[in-house]
């Protein structure tokens, strides 16, 4: 069963990003990391878990894996997907409901930064609290991340868990010296991307700094036994076609805002790497790899 409810036009993200425009990129990324996320979800979902809420589900790859896990647990189970982006929400709802028979999938268009979040979820007919609340790469898009964690903790059943996935180590795809421009290009691209990220955060209305680590923040948000584990997305060279496409997608993302933040020589090198007609096109290299580490922070709601 799949229901789209709670489509409120006032729901919007706070980061000036048109998330719906990222549907295809997020879908492709979901497919690429599905084996890794399957392992993460297997660690998080316990045999007795029958309900989950995913906040900021993107194209729905993880939601589908959560739905399959809930279905395996048997009994009546419920998955609620919350997002501000209408098209992503629809895509995620469809993907999750196709993935698992017998799981009631609800989509709720709501803002995780709004205090009305819990009411929007119950207003959509979804259970107010879940055994597992999962939020990957979305809390850092909320102006006040600690307030966001408190709000998400409020959606966890007593004894249940909140899992927040955030960056561990930044993705790397290039050899240190690619033979054009100066060696060490990717380190400079990653640094520019970090500057973009900090600007995205400071430009949000009501932006508040979070000057502590995630497990400590979860503890402050009222959760117990906060702990973290990391997973690697480790695809060595030579990459297969999906890996090659993922590496090119990563380089394209780093191109964003490069003009303002990088030396002209580095922008030129990146342009050459991204030019399918050029002799330095990264897609023709057999030494690209894909290596990324993300961290899952897990806290338990006291019973």
Ligand X SMILES: C[S@@+](CC[C@H](N)C(=O)[O-])C[C@H]1O[C@@H](n2cnc3c(N)ncnc32)[C@H](O)[C@@H]1O
Residue of the chain from 58, 69, 181, 243 that contacts ligand X (CB under 6 A): 58
* Residue 56 binds ligand X (CB under 6 A): yes
Give the shortest CB-301-to-ligand X separation in angstroms. Answer: 20
- Under DSSP, the state recorded for 223 is -
Contact between 145 and ligand X by CB under 6 A: the answer reads no
| 141 touches ligand X by CB under 6 A | yes
Residue 137 in the binding site for ligand X (CB under 6 A): yes
d(CA 27, CA 24): 5
The answer to whether the beta carbons of residues 291 and 233 sit under 8 Å apart is yes
Interface with ligand X, residue 112, by CB under 6 A? yes
| Residue owning tokens 């050459």 | 272
Q: Is 9 left (phi over 0), alpha (psi -120 to 50) or beta?
A: alpha
Which one of 45-53, 130-138, 193-201, 220-228 is the stretch in contact with ligand X (CB under 6 A)? 130-138
- If one asks whether residue 138 binds ligand X (CB under 6 A), the answer comes out as yes
Distance (Å) of CA 265 to CA 150, 160, 270, 271: 45, 51, 9, 10
Q: Which two tokens stand for residue 274?
A: 């991204």
> Quick check: helix, strand or coil at residue 103?
strand
Interacting span for ligand X (CB under 6 A) from 11-19, 151-159, 170-178, 237-245: 11-19
The three-class DSSP label of residue 254 is helix
The yes or no reply on residue 41 touching ligand X (CB under 6 A) is no
Note whether 111 binds ligand X by CB under 6 A. Answer: yes
Contact between 249 and 188 (Cβ < 8 Å): no
d(CA 228, CA 232): 14
1: how many CB neighbours lie within 10 A of its CB? 10
Decide if residue 246 touches ligand X (CB under 6 A).
Answer: no
Q: In whole angstroms, give the CA distance from residue 267 to residue 275.
A: 12
99 interacts with ligand X by CB under 6 A: no
Identity of the residue, 91 or 223, whose beta carbon is nearer to ligand X in the bound complex: 91
Q: Which residue has the tokens 């009994």?
A: 75
Of 26, 173, 269, 282, which lies in the binding site for ligand X, with binding defined by CB under 6 A? Answer: 26
Q: Structure tokens of 81? A: 């997907």
Minimal distance, residue 77 CB to ligand X, in Å: 20
Residue number with CB closer to ligand X (142 or 273): 142
Smallest distance from ligand X to CB 29, Å: 6
Q: At closest approach, how far in Å is the CB of 84 from ligand X?
A: 4
Give the nearest distance from C-beta 172 to ligand X in angstroms.
Answer: 19
- Positions touching ligand X (CB under 6 A) are 13-14, 19, 26, 55-58, 82-85, 88, 111-113, 136-138, 141-142
């Amino acid at each position: 069963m799949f229901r789209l409810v709670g489509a409120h036009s006032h729901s919007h993200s706070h980061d000036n990003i048109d998330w719906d425009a990222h549907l295809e990129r997020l879908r492709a990324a979901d497919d690429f990391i599905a084996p890794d996320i399957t392992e993460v979800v297997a660690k998080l979902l316990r045999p007795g878990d029958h309900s989950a809420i995913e906040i900021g589900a993107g194209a729905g790859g993880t939601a589908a894996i959560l739905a399959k896990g809930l279905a395996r647990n048997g009994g009546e189970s419920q998955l609620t997907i919350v997002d501000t982006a209408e098209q992503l929400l629809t895509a995620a709802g469809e993907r999750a409901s196709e993935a698992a028979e017998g799981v009631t999938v609800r989509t709720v268009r709501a803002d995780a930064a709004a205090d009305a979040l819990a009411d929007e979820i119950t207003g959509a007919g979804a259970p107010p609290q879940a055994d597992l609340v999962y939020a990957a790469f979305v809390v850092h898009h909320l102006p006040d991340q600690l307030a966001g964690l408190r709000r998400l903790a409020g959606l966890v059943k007593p004894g249940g868990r909140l899992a927040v996935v955030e960056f561990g180590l930044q993705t790397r795809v290039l050899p240190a010296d690619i033979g054009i421009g100066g060696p060490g290009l990717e380190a400079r691209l990653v640094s520019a991307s970090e500057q973009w990220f900090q600007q995205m955060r400071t430009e949000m209305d009501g932006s508040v700094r979070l000057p502590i680590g995630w497990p400590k923040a979860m503890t402050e948000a009222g959760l117990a036994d906060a702990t973290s584990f990391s997973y690697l997305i480790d695809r060595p060279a030579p990459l297969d076609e999906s890996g090659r496409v993922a590496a090119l997608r990563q380089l394209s993302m780093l191109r964003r805002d490069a003009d303002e933040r990088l030396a002209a020589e580095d922008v030129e090198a990146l342009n050459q790497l991204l030019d399918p007609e050029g002799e330095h096109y990264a897609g023709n290299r057999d030494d690209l790899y894909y290596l990324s580490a993300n961290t899952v922070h897990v806290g338990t709601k006291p019973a």
